[in-house]
Amino acid sequence: MFRVTERSNSFFSIVLILTGVLAILPTNWLAWTRDLSDIVRLPITPVAHAGNRLAGWLRPVDAVDGMNESDLRERMIVLEDERDRFKRLYHALQLRTQDLSAQLGLLQGLPDRMLQGPRPPLILPTDVTARDPGDVVSPVEVEVTPQIDERVNVGDVAIWRHEYLVGRVASRSSFRVTILPLAHLDTGPFQVAVLIPGQEEAGLAPPRMLLNPLGDGSFAGEVDHRHGTLPGSQVVLADSEWPPWAQALGVGVIESVEQIDEAPLRDLVIVRPRIQLHQLPEIILLASDEDPMTLTGELKP
Amino acid sequence: MRWLVFMIAALLATALDLGLASAMTLRTLDFLTPSFAAVLVAYTALHGRADHVLWGAWVIGVLADLSPGSAEGAEAIYIIGPHALGYVFGASVILTIRSMVFRHRVLTLSACTFACVLSTGLATVLTGIIRFWLPFTGGAVVPFGLGELGHSFGDALYSGLLAIPAGWVLFQTMPLWRFDYGVGRRTA
């Protein structure tokens, strides 16, 4: 057996008991641990940041699902075609919106400013400085650049490659911005649309459902059986509670569809993200680009 | 044991766990990830004075609990305890058995690292269960369950493997540490 001096032993026992008590303190009594963590991070973050960059360089994250080079080339061609089609649709919709806004303005006598669409967001790429690579739903922290410090707010969204929604800003301070993954239980349920192949061309509206994070990195939701939802279908965000620029960003892919015995007209759908937040060495934050003016045109103090 | 060397090594190991360890994550195997900090705990536990070892394990545990990236929940709360208690428990186990093992063998370090990570997993699960059942803690912030325990077992195995090359590097730095525990089995 090992021996320690009696005095040191009793002091250490007290420290251990205190540690045990700290571990079970109520969550709302532990806000001070954030300050303690800010002190701990001072020497750790630079090395961890460098390690994350090195890890990202050594093992880049991709979402190509094992496609070879020719598959990727074909996919690029399809994507370019789609991009051009959506550009045309976007411009047509912009013109239509302008027409409708003008008509609505005439009818209601509202100022033009009230009828303008949301401004495009600020795009703020940033490096992940700390993550727990073994925990699928662990929050990550990102580098706080002056622009991020100034513009990012709680609730802003984190994306990857302008295509996938990966998380949301959970807390921010001058030292840290913490992003909570989309699949974290605390993110709560959100509404999505299912893009079933073939239905878009047929002009059918995509079915919507409420997705609930399961805590293991995946989501579950229920959808009407008559829509014929298929595994492999893409799921995109369609929730008005989220910022407008987050709409239609990819959430994941349907992994399985099972008819519910108790409710045969409903299907239980399991959705898995193509990419998890904790895998990424860098992300993009989309922040509101609102100028400091009120809707009536006055400058905010 | 030189505390300055220990503190530098502890900060470096914690930073490596938060950064470089993600390059070694097994993405297809439930994201199993090795722990550099556990290797350091096992290394010091095999060679240091008992009281130094226990304090060292506690310090590394607290660093791991407070390190950026280990925040829990939407409020980004840091729970001090799972790693701090787990590493101390793991170090105690190693202190108990170290007089019976070949302390200067990398394989011994590998087995001890396995024990350290597993004990941390147990401490995390226990903390999670206690926090879940106590009415005043604010619910389940620390994850727990059989899945979590299985994941810890996988992490422990993987960390044991990492301890082979990392341990070799640590053994090369032995003179820097000035360990003062000289009793125990040694290979010729």
What is the share, in percent, of chain B residues with pLDDT greater than 70?
92
On the 0-12 / 13-18 / 19+ scale of CB atoms within 10 A, A63 is middle
Helix/strand/coil for A135: coil
Closest CA to A30 of B111, B88, B78: B78
Cβ partners under 8 Å of residue A68, min gap 6: none
**A229/chain B closest Cα distance in angstroms:** 26
> Which B positions 22-51 lie with beta carbon below 8 A of chain A?
22-23, 25, 27, 31-33, 50-51
Q: Which of A58-72, A155-169, B131-145 has the highest mean pLDDT?
A: A155-169
Residue A157 one-letter amino acid: V
What are the start-end ranges of the H helices in chain A? 6-23, 32-58, 69-108, 112-115, 146-151
> Which B positions 141-160 lie with beta carbon below 8 A of chain A?
141, 143, 147, 151, 155
User: Which residues from chain A sit within 8 angstroms of residue B130, using beta carbons?
Assistant: 23-24
Chain-chain contact of A23 with B69 (C-beta, under 8 angstroms): no
A269-300 exposure pattern, b = at least 16 Cβ within 10 A, e = fewer? bbbbbbbbbbbbbebbbbbbeeeeeeeeeeee
How far apart, in Å, are the Cα atoms of B148 and each of B30, B38, B61, B145?
11, 18, 18, 5
Chain-chain contact of A170 with B75 (C-beta, under 8 angstroms): yes
Question: How many CB atoms lie under 10 A from the CB of residue A106?
Answer: 9
Helix/strand/coil for A55: helix
How many Å is the Cα radius of gyration of chain A? 24
How far, rounded to the nearest angstrom, does the alpha carbon of residue A293 sit from its chain's CA centroid?
Answer: 28
Cβ partners under 8 Å of residue A90, min gap 6: none
The chain B residue lying nearest A6, using CA atoms, is B51
Out of B32, B85, B141, the one facing A20 most closely (by C-beta) is B85
B185, β-bridge pairs: B102
| B71 touches A: beta carbon within 8 Å | yes
pLDDT digits (tens, 9 = 90+) for A114-132: 656 666 788 888 888 888 8
Q: How confident is the model at residue B60 (pLDDT cuts 50, 70, 90)?
A: very high
Q: What is the pLDDT of residue B70?
A: 77
Higher pLDDT, A259 or A67: A259
A284, β-bridge pairs: A125, A159
| CA within 13 Å, CB half, B18 | 33
Residue B164 one-letter amino acid: I
Out of A47, A178, A279, the one facing B71 most closely (by C-beta) is A178
* pTM given for the model: 0.76
Chain-chain contact of B22 with A281 (C-beta, under 8 angstroms): yes
Higher pLDDT, B98 or A2: B98
User: Which residues from chain A sit within 8 angstroms of residue B20, using beta carbons?
Assistant: 51-52, 54-55
Cβ partners under 8 Å of residue A226, min gap 6: A265
- Mean pLDDT value across chain A: 82
**A33/chain B closest Cα distance in angstroms:** 6
Query: For B32, which DSSP code?
Result: B
Q: How confident is the model at residue B116 (pLDDT cuts 50, 70, 90)?
A: very high
Out of B27, B76, B134, the one facing A139 most closely (by C-beta) is B76
Structure tokens at A67: 């496609």
Helix/strand/coil for A103: helix
The pLDDT of A141-156, averaged and rounded, is 87
B88-112 exposure pattern, b = at least 16 Cβ within 10 A, e = fewer? bbbbbbbbeebeebebebeebbbbb
**Whether A142 contacts A179, CB under 8 Å:** yes
Higher pLDDT, B70 or A187: A187
Closest CA to A183 of A266, A248, A257, A279: A279
User: Which residues from chain B sit within 8 angstroms of residue A2, using beta carbons?
Assistant: 50, 53, 95-96, 98
Cβ partners under 8 Å of residue B187, min gap 6: B102, B104, B105
| B14 touches A: beta carbon within 8 Å | yes
pLDDT digits (tens, 9 = 90+) for B4-17: 999 999 999 999 99
